[in-house]
Amino acid sequence: MARSTPTRRAWRSLIWLAVIIVGLIAANAAGVIWNNAGWTPKLALDLEGGTQIILEPQLESGQSVSQEQLNQAVSIIRQRVDASGVSESEITTQGGRNVVVSIPGTPDDETMQRIQASAKLEFRPVLTADLPSNQTMTDGSTATPTPEPDAAATPSPSLESTPTVEPTSASDLNWITPALSDEFTNFDCASLDDTAGEVPPADQPLITCEQDGSVKYILGPVEVSGETIADASSGLVPNAQGFTTNEWGVFIEFNDKGTAQFRDVTTRLIGLQGVQNQFAIVLDGKVISAPTTNAAITDGKPVISGNFTQDTAQTLADQLKFGALPIGFQLESTNTISATLGTTQLQSGIIAGIIGMLLVLVYSLFQYRTLGLVTMASLLVAMLITYLVITLLSWREGYRLSLAGVAGLIVAIGIIADSFIVYFERIRDELRNGRSLESAVETGWKRALRTILASDTINFLAAAVLFIVAVGSVQGFALTLGITTLIDLVVVILFTHPLMQLLAHTRFFGGGHPASGLDPQALGAVYRGRATFRAPVVTSGKNANASREAQKRQTIAERKADELATSGRRPGKDS
């Protein structure tokens, strides 16, 4: 098959660019029609305002909260908010006690639940239950149904409130005093909603229920704290042979402290029968899971399996991963806050961007004559694609545009313009070397592309590092900077270069019209042959201007050749 000509390649690139733009428009249109999305990006807290949620720590009598605990809580709550797809939120501490969460706009119910479900995560052994659990815990090799509860585990009601025999472990049934048994019998799971703000003592047994109220428990003291969880994820559980099954499960990974604690607990539980073999995971005072123990788990990597769906497994994994706060919190207040900067500052940012583009246009027209219009056309295409991408991210990923993000877009104008300048200067250098415009466009592109790739790679790496290490609005700046850097490559490859390939075949540009910015005579083509240069001849009028332009545009090699010619020496010979 014959190799395609530059013109055919140019049209092919432009068609691909059109496909990308149409695809982005179609994706945004689908969001507008079927998912209540908009044609404009959502705005961040500083431009739109939003909701302020104040969380107050739940402390036992005499207990205090440290700054380290608050900082850890802020980090985990930020992970929760980010996991819900909310961008540009602010999570800070207040008065050395409270945690303040500021979210753009009005948060949905799921986001509010993620934030409010902020109690301390605990692992407690099950002492007794009025119904069996329907999940099992394994070491990754087997999964068995939960055994029926041990009816003998529930003692007769009485009024004694302290154990008559000192319990030897958290699973010891001596924790169940007659008074506790009577309270368990008369306990109503609906009352948990009224006591959500109370913190149960970690060293005492707890009466509680499943989140849906289906099972009622007496749990032993806390044995493993939630902050010892290093990670949690959902996935398909492998069988004993290592092959993936169709059963969904939750994979937990403890840190060194949690691994040691969990090893000791599961080693004890594996020898117990009935519901005492179960281990309850308690979040916000309610049991979110109570799996049985099938083996002593010594590596700190248990797998919870059972009647999970993909969604329920993911929900439990999120609760385990993002619920391990060092202290519990309760919702103190929810307030609507106004924008700190508002639409006035947004308009100012947009005006600044327009002024920046106009200045680039003026400079391009002054420096490159009509060729500067290619710069403006490329900038407009880049801005269109950027707008569509930001709007799509706003719908799909919850991204919100802050003033820092607008600043990143404005900075990108200079980055994009730099690529065009590098390319145009390479073309003009090739014209000075005596090439035709068609040849100069192709040769200049090969040399310019390396420089553009190097420059954009550095810019993208800087944006990526900034996005990873920063938080809040600084991440918004890094995100828009990184996106526009990638779009710069797309535009210069699929639009600017193909457009120059097509313009090179026109009479106006290809013929070197003085107003085109590509006039060889104005540029001063001084190259004659291999390693041979001639000094520009200074005449009067238009040719004099061309000669001065040529002198300004000479390369180092050309200037050195001129100096040697002027001094009467030959290139390569010592004086």
Q: What percent of the chain has a predicted confidence (pLDDT) above 70? A: 75
Q: Does the pLDDT at position 385 exceed 90?
A: yes
Residue that terminates a domain, selected from 460, 484, 514: 514
Q: Based on the fold, state whether residues 214 and 317 are members of the same structural domain.
A: yes
Query: Is residue 263 assigned to a domain?
Result: yes
Q: What is the pLDDT of residues 291-300, one digit of tens each?
A: 888 888 888 8
Q: How far are the Cα atoms of 332, 363, 506 from residue 377, in angstroms, in the given order?
A: 53, 14, 18
- pLDDT at residue number 388: 92
Q: Based on the fold, state whether residues 402 and 476 are members of the same structural domain.
A: yes
Q: Based on the fold, state whether residues 354 and 387 are members of the same structural domain.
A: yes
Q: Does the pLDDT at position 566 exceed 90?
A: no
Query: Is residue 136 assigned to a domain?
Result: yes
Q: Does the pLDDT at position 180 exceed 80?
A: yes
The mean pLDDT of the chain is 76
Q: Based on the fold, state whether residues 215 and 362 are members of the same structural domain.
A: no
Query: Is residue 221 assigned to a domain?
Result: yes
Rg of the chain in Å (alpha carbons): 35
| Residue pair 48/339 in contact by the 8 Å Cβ criterion | yes
Query: Is residue 533 assigned to a domain?
Result: no
Q: Does the pLDDT at position 335 exceed 50?
A: yes
| Residue pair 327/65 in contact by the 8 Å Cβ criterion | yes
Q: Does the pLDDT at position 529 exceed 60?
A: no
Residue that terminates a domain, selected from 332, 363, 378: 332
Instruction: Let me know the angle formed at the C-alpha of 206 by 203 and 211, rounded to the nearest 5 degrees.
Output: 135
- pLDDT at residue number 563: 67
Range of the structural domain that residue 84 is part of:
50-116
Q: Based on the fold, state whether residues 81 and 205 are members of the same structural domain.
A: no
Q: Based on the fold, state whether residues 265 and 131 are members of the same structural domain.
A: yes
- pLDDT at residue number 536: 44
CATH (domain of 424):
1.20.1640.10
Q: Based on the fold, state whether residues 253 and 156 are members of the same structural domain.
A: yes
Instruction: Let me know the angle formed at the C-alpha of 431 by 430 and 434, rounded to the nearest 5 degrees.
Output: 95
Q: Which residues of 513-537 are buried (b: 16+ CB within 10 A; e: fewer)?
A: eeebbbbbebbbbbbeeeeebebbe
The model's confidence at residue 160, banded by pLDDT at 50, 70 and 90, is: low
Q: Choose between 86 and 400: higher pLDDT.
A: 400
Query: Is residue 521 assigned to a domain?
Result: no
Query: Is residue 538 assigned to a domain?
Result: no
- pLDDT at residue number 4: 58
- 480: its two tokens: 């828009």
Q: Choose between 117 and 54: higher pLDDT.
A: 54
Looking at the whole model, is its pTM more than 0.75? no
Query: Is residue 284 assigned to a domain?
Result: yes
Of 55, 77, 53, 70, whose CA–CA distance to 323 is shortest? 77
Q: Based on the fold, state whether residues 163 and 32 are members of the same structural domain.
A: no
Q: Based on the fold, state whether residues 286 and 355 are members of the same structural domain.
A: no
Per-position DSSP letters for 141-170, written without gaps between them: S---PPPPP-GGGSPPP-S--S-SS--SST
Q: What is the pLDDT of residues 87-116, one digit of tens each?
A: 667 788 877 778 888 877 777 776 676 676
CATH (domain of 85):
3.30.70.3220
Residue that terminates a domain, selected from 484, 514, 544: 514
Q: Based on the fold, state whether residues 356 and 260 are members of the same structural domain.
A: no
Q: Name the least confident of 204-213, 341-350, 560-569.
A: 560-569
Q: Based on the fold, state whether residues 170 and 317 are members of the same structural domain.
A: yes
Q: Based on the fold, state whether residues 184 and 268 are members of the same structural domain.
A: yes
Query: Is residue 275 assigned to a domain?
Result: yes
Q: Choose between 214 and 153: higher pLDDT.
A: 214
Domains identified in the chain, total number: 3
Q: What is the pLDDT of residues 456-494, one digit of tens each?
A: 899 899 888 988 887 666 777 888 889 999 999 999 999
